[in-house]
Chain A
Amino acid sequence: MTLLSYAKAMNRALADALEADPAVCVFGEDVGAGLAGLTPGLQQRFGAGRVVDVPLSEQAFTSAGIGAALNGMRPVIELQIPSLLFLVFEQLANQAHKFSLMTGGQARVPLTVVVPGSGSRSGWAGQHSDHPYGLFAHVGIKTLAPATPTDAYGLLSSAIRDDDPVVLFAPAGALGVREDVTAPLVPVPIGAARVHRAGSDVTVVAVGHLVHQALAVAEELAGEASVEVLDPRTLYPLDRAALVESLGRTGRLVVVDDSNRFAGFAAEVLAVAAEECRLLAPPRRVTRPDGAVLPFALALDRALQPDAEQLRDAIRAVLK
């Protein structure tokens, strides 16, 4: 039995990509030391010219990644803190994402941005605990949130090979997940959801680390209801076909999403269900509150994130 951790899976995806394609390079703060857990050993193996320690200039090095991508490289940008995404929103939303259209298809920007430890890290307070994947999905940037080590490997591999900018959220709550891996690690297509557990009464759409919470709750409720756990894996473009197919069987929907409620990812899932499906009960979502800022104290930090009890209640509510 080989237990593979989420962080190790990402590290392996980066190593395999660097090995396979000389155009792949990594820009990030402290990537040589591997501080964020993604890049240990890579600079020693591939050199400081490909695994590049950059100064604390997120805007410039993200845009430098765009420039390098325009000249044929496939840069991976590591941002240690999810809130740094706010700092580089201009570079990603207004530059990287728009180049292909604005140039009439002359340019492509194969840039991957990875955020190891997105969402709450327990005790890192307001400016280190966000989960702004909805913002990137909203502007149309390919947005990924793998829940398991094999999906982390597979989606990061696909992101690096993709010809468009991609932002990959590696939730802090999933970084400790280990998986018994027997099959070879392979790329996972962008835009394909995964059913982790089949069910017939209710579909729980769970994002990122909450997939594991959803699976635990589904197991716990096994005597009461048959719960399907659907992991979108890619938040944008959303695998609407998989969602519609699942809801066609269950007719009931709960979304559990560790991001802000208003205009959030869960809202879009509910909108798709409302437009494209005939539900048997009003759908429910379990999210952070509107406009949440996570407070420091652990009890307060936890109080604003979706928990198992809320999910149980929501499932029971749609089953009534």
Chain B
Amino acid sequence: MSLPHLADPAGRYRTMRLIRSFEELALEWVRSGLVVGGTHPYSGQEAVAVGVCAALDPADQLTSTHRGHGHVLAKGADPGRLLAELLGRVGGLNGGRGGSMHAADFSLGILGANGIVGAGAPIAVGAAWAAQRRGEPTVVASFFGDGALNQGVLLESLNLASIWRAPVVFVCENNGYATTLPAASAVGGSACGRAAAFGIPAETVDGMDVEAVRAAAGRAVERARSGGGPSFLECLTYRFEAHHTMERRFRLSYRAAEEVASWRERDPLATDLPEAAAIDLEVAELLAAAAGFALASAEPDPATATDHLYASGLRPRSGAAL
């Protein structure tokens, strides 16, 4: 059974709109100082998260990245709890312990956004290996950007997944830039060429087209679930915003305005769905309620700062003078 909220085009549009509006609100909250630190906005890449998750079952899992809000929401996490997490409140997905870059909801198979580029891939391979060992039908989608293509551990992970025939779908979101470094000048060979070198079926797909992503992801998930091993998708996409919210202050000019504009013309949210306007209203209401929940959630008690440091309950020594 696929994820019910992504079962039809309207549901997929609704979730993409939710992600976009969520990111716009998050940006506003960063600018106003409500969110400390910052975020890595997913705007522009919605079709990738939604298209891939539309091919997953509820029991399937994913690993995410520093630019993770889209994946987390697409898999079905509660937007109010994700907003509360950005605010560092106790009602957040992680109780305010993780923030934007570590959002996780294990009850939904979201094994965590990750602050280290490429770090989610081997975790996904191990999670898939464990599920496979137990005879569970779980497939694990591992999202990463074009920057991760040059991380050694990603290449090691492709190899491990290949030799184990692990049920993993590697999803490379190629948004053209590793922060400011263009993929064209950073990636020797190609994304799909890396996968092919390890014997993993790979295809490049239009990452601005949710239905194209869903179709390709569907083939990959089917292959994984039927014992055919891992697949690799390179989704060509673009982030409409800065790499992270701090970048706005620096007024960087590594991307030409024309380039940004041309990709914005291919906005994945452009739709001729007749119900789009109604969905937009619905999402606005949903997000307003989510914001209300997040803002009403309590600040954590400083006395709990080392809670959860150890799963076994070990308490660390205090840093204060004796």
Q: What chain B residues lie within 8 Å of A9 (beta carbons)? A: none
Determine if B307 and A103 form an interchain contact, defined as CB atoms under 8 angstroms apart: no
A51→B307 CA distance, assembly (Å): 34
CA distance A73 to B95 in the complex (A): 25
Q: Does A213 contact B (CB under 8 A)?
A: no
Whether A70 contacts B94 in the complex (CB less than 8 A), given A59-B122, A65-B126, A164-B311, comes out as: no
- Chain B residues 71 to 106 lying within 8 A of chain A, measured CB to CB, are 92-98, 102, 104-106
Interface residues of A in 207-266 (CB under 8 A from B): 237, 240
B156 an interface residue at 8 Å Cβ cutoff? yes
The verdict on B152 contacting chain A, using a C-beta distance below 8 Å, is yes
- Considering only CB atoms, which chain A residue lies closest to B157 in the complex? A60
CA separation between A15 and B180, bound complex, in Å?
A: 51
A163 in complex: contacting residue of B126, B152, B312, CB < 8 Å: B312
List the A side residues contacting B309 at CB < 8 Å. 100-101, 140
Q: Please, how many angstroms separate the alpha-carbon atoms of A8 and B5 in the complex?
A: 55
Q: Give chain B nearest CB distance to A213 CB in angstroms.
A: 29
| Known A57-B156, A63-B119; contact A164-B130, beta-carbon cutoff 8 A | no
B160 part of interface (Cβ distance < 8 Å):
yes
B129-163 interface mask toward A, CB cutoff 8 Å, 1 = contact, 0 = none? 11101100010100000000000110011011001
Q: B94: which of A64, A66, A106 is its contact (CB, 8 Å)? A: A106
Known: A68-B130, A237-B314, A275-B322. A105 touches B160 (CB 8 A): no
Bitwise interface map of A from 116 to 138 toward B, beta carbon under 8 Å scored 1, else 0: 00000000000000000000000
| Contact of A95 with B by CB under 8 A | yes
B124 contacts chain A at the CB level, 8 A cutoff: yes
B282-322 contact mask (Cβ, 8 Å, vs A): 1 or 0: 00000000000000000000000011111110101100001
Q: Are B122 and A67 in contact (CB under 8 A)?
A: yes
Q: Is B68 an interface residue (CB 8 A)?
A: no
B116 in contact (CB, < 8 A): yes
The answer to whether A103 and B94 touch across the interface, beta carbons within 8 angstroms, is yes
A282: CB under 8 A from chain B? no
A106/B105 in contact, CB under 8 A: yes
Name A102's contact: one of B112, B124, B153, B156 (CB within 8 Å).
Answer: B112
Measured CB to CB, the closest approach of chain A to B52, in angstroms, equals 18
Please count how many residues in chain A sit with their CB below 8 Å of the partner chain's CB atoms: 47
The contact string, 1 if C-beta is below 8 Å from chain B, for chain A 94-115, is 1100011111111111100000
Residues on A with C-beta less than 8 A from B122 are: 59-64, 66-67, 91
Q: Name B93's closest neighbour in chain A (CB-CB).
A: A104
Q: B125 within 8 Å of A by Cβ?
A: yes
Contact pick for B126, options A63, A102, A103, A140, CB 8 Å: A63
Contact status A101-B131, CB under 8 Å: no
Question: Would A95 and B322 count as touching, CB distance under 8 A?
Answer: no
- Known contacts A49-B133, A63-B157, A104-B96; 19 further A-B pairs (Cβ under 8 A): A64-B126, A66-B126, A67-B111, A67-B122, A67-B140, A68-B126, A68-B129, A70-B106, A71-B126, A72-B134, A73-B130, A95-B116, A100-B308, A102-B112, A103-B104, A104-B97, A105-B95, A105-B307, A164-B311
6 CB < 8 A contacts A-B: A60-B160, A66-B123, A67-B124, A67-B125, A68-B127, A75-B126
Residues of chain B whose beta carbon lies under 8 Å from any beta carbon of chain A:
61, 63, 92-98, 102, 104-107, 111-112, 114, 116, 119, 121-131, 133-134, 138, 140, 152-153, 156-157, 159-160, 163, 306-312, 314, 316-317, 322
